[in-house]
Amino acid sequence: MKIKVWVVRVLLLSLLASVLMFAIPLEDRMVYGAIPLEDPTVYGALPLEDRMVCGALPLEKGRAYRPTVYKDLDKTHWAYENISKLSETELLKGYPDGSFRPSREVTYGEFIKMAVLCIGKKDPAKPSNNNQQSHWALPYYQEGLAKGYYNKSRIDPGKLSYPIPRGDMALILSQMLGEWNIQDHKEILDKIQDLDYRNPDEYHFVKIYHAGILTGYPDGTFRPEKTLNRAEAAAVISRFLDTKRKQLFPVPDPPPGKTLIPIENLIPNHVDDYMLMDVKSYWITDKDPYSYDIVYSLSGIETLMIFPEDRSRVVIFILGDRVIYTSDVLSTRYWVTGAKAGELLPDFDYIGVYERCSDTMMLIPSPFR
C-alpha cells in the first residue's frame, strides 16, 4: 500500500509540473535565459536554420552566437528596428554591461566605424597586444581616410572620442554616396534657413538633405553644429543604406575583347537545369569585383558573405562540371540550398555570378584557394 501511495504522489507532482510548464506562453519560454526562440522581431520570419547571426564568427565552427539584445532598449523605442537591424550585422555594438545607451551622444569613432562597415567592407580592426595605447576606432579612421571620406585637416584622429556634429556626418556620408543628381539645388538651399553659398560644405549638406539621409528641423534649419545621439545615428545610417541599395551594384559586363565561352563547355547538361537554361556563355574574370567573409547561421551553417549587396544577382558554386545552388539572405549571404545544421561550405572551383534572365555568367576563381 505504501508503495502505491508513493507512486501516486510522484505522478501527481509530475502532472503539476507539466501543467505549470505549459501554462507559460510560448513566447515567454526563454532560450538560454536570453530571448524567446520564436521572437520574429529578433530573428526575422525565416526558418530557424536560416536566421543569421551576422558579422561575427563563432569561437569554433558550428557554434553560433545569439542575436544581440540590449537591456535598456525595448520594442517601444522609436529606433528599435533600426538599432536591431544594424546590431545584427555588427554595424552597432552595445557596451560590456549589456546596454546600448541610445540617448548617449555618438562619437566620431562610433560613427566612422558604422560608416566604414556599412558599405560592405571587412572589419579592418585587428586585435593586437602591441596596440593597447591606440584608440579602438583608429583602424576605421584610417580606412575612411584612405577612401577619401575626409582628410586629417578636417577630422583629426584626436577627435575620435568626441561627439561628432551633423556637419561632419553629412560630409562623410556625402563622400560615400558618390555622384548624386540635384536638379533643384538652389530651391533646396533657399529652404534651409541657416545655410547659404558662403558655407564651404553647403554642397554636401544639400546633397544629403536632398537624399533624405540627414533632414532638417521643423523651423527650416539644418544645424550642422548639432550632435546626434546613438539612436539618431542608427536611423541616419539606416536611411543611408536604404538610399545606397537603390544604386544597385550590377554584375560586371565582360571587358572588351574578353572571350565568351559556350556554357556547354563547362556544364554539358545545362539545358536540363531551370536555373541555367537562359545562360548561353560564360567568361572568367581576371579581377574579382567582390570581397568576402564567412558568417554562420544560428544552427551553425557556414555561409559566404559577398560584398557589396546586389538584389539582382544569382550566385552558384561550381566544382568541375557540377553546379551547387545557393540560397541567400539580404542579397549578401549565401549558403548551400538545403544545408543542414552545422554544414560547411563545399569546396568549389568557381563562384558563378549572373543577373536573372542574363545569357552571360561571370566566373570568379575560388578566393579560398
Which residues fall within 8 angstroms of residue 296, CB to CB, at 6 or more apart?
52, 53, 57, 58, 61, 62, 63, 64, 302, 303
Q: How far apart are CA 205 and CA 228, in angstroms?
A: 16
Q: No. of H helices and E strands in the chain? A: 9, 12
Q: What is the pTM of this model?
A: 0.54
- Which candidate, 353, 279, 121, 268, places its Cα nearest to that of 364? 353
Task: Please report the DSSP string for 307-325 in residue order.
Answer: ES--TTEEEEEEETTEEEE
Nearest 5°: the CA angle 180, 165, 133 is 110
According to the model, what pLDDT value does residue 269 have? 78
Among 185-199, 242-256, 297-311, the range scoring the smallest mean pLDDT is 242-256
Cα distance between residue 313 and residue 307, in whole Å: 12
Mean pLDDT lowest for which of 88-92, 218-222, 246-250?
A: 246-250
Contact, 138 vs 160, CB < 8 A? yes
Residue 187 has pLDDT above 60, yes or no: yes
For 124, phi and psi rounded to 5 degrees? -80, -10
Provide the 3-class DSSP secondary structure of residue 336. strand
Q: What is the pLDDT of residue 114?
A: 92
Q: Poorest-confidence range of 35-39, 176-180, 259-263, 266-270?
A: 35-39
What's the pLDDT score for residue 268? 86
Residue 164 pLDDT grade (very low, low, confident, very high; cuts 50, 70, 90): very high
Cell of 245: 541599395
Q: How confident is the model at residue 126 (pLDDT cuts 50, 70, 90)?
A: low
Q: Which pLDDT tens digit goes with each residue over 201-214?
A: 999 999 999 999 99
Q: Taking a C-beta distance cutoff of 8 angstroms, is the pair 111, 92 a contact?
A: no
